Amino acid sequence: MSTAALHKKELSPKEYKSDVNVVWCPGCGHHGILNAILRALADCGVDTTNLINVSGIGCSSRTPYFLNSYKMHTLHGRAGPVATGAQLARPDQMVVITGGDGDGFAIGGGHMPHMARRNINLTYILFDNGIYGLTKGQYSPTSRRELKAYTTPYGGPDDPMNPLLYMLTYGATYVGQAFAGKPKVCADLIKGAMEHKGFSYVNIYSQCTSYNHIDTIQYYRDLMREIPEGHDVTNLAAAMELARGDTEGHRPMGLLYQVQRDTMDERLDAIVKLVGGHADYDLNKVVDLFRP
């Protein structure tokens, strides 16, 4: 993330919370994720005037209303392109996407690989509850086949996708996973993602108490296993092996992968400097027209 956005303020987590009342259902895991985000922002020392929170549509996409930040509540699945534009226009800002599994991997799924492969310098926090909650309980890309949802009353026909393998395959440079019942783990992963330079993806399992009655908080407690000590986070093959889960079906919790490579804004700056060196075409003057 931008160093200009970090370590500027000494604020408590509650000072990153807006005065808008949180409207998620009682028991929803999103409450825990929001608290983890607030804690991570405080631990990073983010200046609220340098924070941009972008979302799409869904329960988790209400998050920008609850944060003390600049915010954009965009169209369904379109948080990625909007956040990409914001980051490239203002690389001095911290850009954070908050969204759900349907928003990110169904209608928005076509944008995810391009943010990862381009290494856009932003953080994507995905609230994964395996259901479309805001629209009252439809089957999502991460729903288990056992889920009897509004659109699948007899169970689903599809195997759930694996977001971690998806992000690792397409080139995300920071990939972690936790669940909402472990707020400290969530906060630590989010903090690391915010401080990482490049595309950071954090998948957080979140129980939906209203429409997903099989992925309970106890189910997630039994599902998750901490990543073993000594795991090499720079080893892509090892990260992908962890992402698949173990032979008993457990899922990894912690940081799977982190490497550094040049970001899209850095590559574009290099092109600007290269082309701007030609006497007959000064691209710097064109770009300056769009800078604040």
Whether 245 and 140 map to the same domain: the answer is: yes
pLDDT of residue 225: 96
Whether 52 and 133 map to the same domain: the answer is: yes
| Alpha-carbon span 147 to 156, nearest angstrom | 7
Whether 195 and 232 map to the same domain: the answer is: yes
Model confidence over 213-254: pLDDT tens digits?
999 999 999 999 999 999 999 999 999 999 999 989 999 999
DSSP at 142: T
One DSSP character per residue, 170-200 reads HT-SEEEEEETT-HHHHHHHHHHHHHSSS-E
pLDDT of residue 91: 95
> What are the start-end ranges of the H helices in the chain?
30-44, 63-66, 79-89, 101-102, 112-118, 163-170, 183-195, 217-223, 236-243, 264-276, 283-288
Whether 238 and 287 map to the same domain: the answer is: no
CATH number at residue 71: 3.40.50.970
Whether 289 and 184 map to the same domain: the answer is: no
pLDDT of residue 150: 83
Whether 224 and 237 map to the same domain: the answer is: yes
Residue span of the structural domain in which 269 resides: 262-292
Quick one: 281 exposed, middle or buried, by C-beta within 10 A (0-12, 13-18, 19+)? exposed
pTM over 0.95: no
pLDDT of residue 113: 97
Chain centroid to CA 203: 7
Task: Report, as ranges of residue numbers, the positions in the chain whose pLDDT lies below 50.
Answer: none
pLDDT of residue 274: 76
Structure tokens at 149: 């949802």
Structure tokens at 244: 């698949």
Whether 140 and 280 map to the same domain: the answer is: no
Model confidence over 47-89: pLDDT tens digits?
999 999 999 999 999 999 999 999 999 999 999 999 999 999 9
Please name every residue paired with 123 in a beta bridge, in sequence order, or none if there are none.
Answer: 96, 200
Helix axes 79-89, 264-276, angle to 10 degrees: 50
Whether 152 and 272 map to the same domain: the answer is: no
Whether 29 and 85 map to the same domain: the answer is: yes
Cα three-residue angle 122-124-125, rounded to 5 degrees: 140
Whether 147 and 242 map to the same domain: the answer is: yes
The answer to whether the beta carbons of residues 2 and 94 sit under 8 Å apart is yes
pLDDT of residue 194: 97
Whether 56 and 133 map to the same domain: the answer is: yes
pLDDT of residue 4: 57
Task: Tell me how many domains the chain contains.
Answer: 2
The answer to whether the beta carbons of residues 289 and 282 sit under 8 Å apart is no
Whether 234 and 135 map to the same domain: the answer is: yes
